[in-house]
Amino acid sequence: MDRNNTANGAMAASAAATEPAPYAYRVYVNKEHYARWNFPGVYPARVHEAFVNDPSLFARTPAQVVSAAISRLNTSQYAEQSVNAAYIQGEARLLSNRLNVLAGVRFERTDVGGEGVLIDPSAAFVRNADGTFARNAQGQRIRRPEAGAAGSLQEVAVTRTERGYKANQSYDGLYPSLHLTYSIRDNFQARLAYAKTYGRPNFPDVLPSATIAEADLGEAELADPNVVKGNITVTNTKLKPWTAHNYDFSLEYYTQSGGTFSAGAFLKDISDFFGTETKVATAADLDAVGFDTDYVGWLLQTKFNSGDARVSGVEFNLRHDLRRFGTWGRYFTVFANGTQSPARAASVHWQRAASGAEGAPGPRRVDP
């Protein structure tokens, strides 16, 4: 079964009994399991067989029905991604063949589109002509008749739209690389390399989904531009890949018997990696996540391309067999390698001011 069910009647009583016959495990009879003999428990396959023979043994509670409907809507997603690329590469030998040059560039374009659930809890309530919520004599918001009771299946149908949030995104870039290898001696080489690389967002970070939670405001508050009207939590379907400029230098020495000794340094400049931020939304922010300007001034929470970092360090690698100690040594190889990179180089702190009332501090982010 791929859904949650609740046992009814005799089945419920049987499953709760100390000896849950006739659905108890039988393979553990007179055997030790989990440090005890005759381990009691319900055997799922036997329960499923009983359910197939008599579906009335199980039923779903109203809460389980609602939970299943919400799960289906939340997981009803569609995404399509196409990648087109072209590259050119060339190789040359210079300085009497002592210098080998390998260079190339790759162009890549990515198109992404998707659909996901749109959640609007405020859709369960009646509105006045001016956009405010209608209220009863006690000042409580009036529910729409078709929304049913809170937590009902009818409310789910009104507040959640299956694949109601649609978005498309495309990005492209050039990714060059250059590799130089210079032979100082036949067994001693220097290498210098550069490459621009990138890292795509994970699909869960760009699959469309949005939750719109409107604040319970009156007419005067709705007209006040300094009042936050609500919260939007959305996946940023326009999240772009982070990019890195990578520089590597190394010296490599090869022994006559095939051993390797190398040491080098590296530097990586990373841009536009991903960070989560909550801030007061501007028109540009809303455009970046596919929302219209009606939500300017709302609190927006999503992921952005938001930070830069620099990572540098040194590394070494040693590898050699033991044949110089005798013929037996050819069957054994010793090796060691290590990397040292300052921990502080891998993190960055940043701050972005948000629009709002004059003199009011904007949301601040210090943990990308």
What is the rounded radius of gyration, in angstroms, for the C-alpha atoms of the chain? 32
The rounded mean pLDDT for the chain is 82
Residues 6+ apart with CB under 8 A from 142: 125, 126, 133, 134, 135, 136
| DSSP conformation letters of 19-81 | S-TTSB--TTTTSEETTEES---B-HHHHHHHHHH-GGGEE--HHHHHHHHHHHHHH--EEEE
Q: Take residue 71 and report the two structure tokens written for it.
A: 């799960």
As a whole number of angstroms, the distance between CA 107 and CA 172 comes to 7
At 20 the pLDDT is 55
Residue 186, CA distances (Å) to 151, 182, 192, 318 in order: 76, 10, 17, 19
Query: What is the C-alpha end-to-end distance of the chain, expressed in Å?
Result: 41
Q: Take residue 170 and report the two structure tokens written for it.
A: 């495309």
As a whole number of angstroms, the distance between CA 330 and CA 321 comes to 6
Q: Which helix (H) or strand (E) holds 337?
A: strand 333-340
At 345 the pLDDT is 36
At residue 214, the 3 state secondary structure works out as strand
At 202 the pLDDT is 83
Rounded to two decimals, the pTM is 0.66
At 12 the pLDDT is 52
Taking alpha carbons only, the member of 35, 42, 61 closest to residue 151 is: 61
At 254 the pLDDT is 92
Residue 32, strand partner residues? 37
Annotated domain spans of the chain? 1-59, 80-346
- Number of CB atoms found within 10 A of residue 106's CB: 16
Q: How many Cα atoms are found within 13 Å in the side-chain-facing hemisphere of 96?
A: 4
pLDDT in tens, 50-85: 778 877 777 788 888 899 999 999 989 888 889 999
At residue 10, the 3 state secondary structure works out as helix
Cα 200 from chain centroid (whole Å): 10
Those residues of the chain that have pLDDT short of 70 are: 1-21, 25, 27-40, 343-368
Write out 122-168 in H/E/C secondary structure. Answer: HHHECECCCCCECECCCCCECECHHHCCCCCHHHHHHHEEEEEEEEE
As a whole number of angstroms, the distance between CA 141 and CA 123 comes to 12
Give burial (CB, 10 Å; 0-12/13-18/19+) of 302: buried
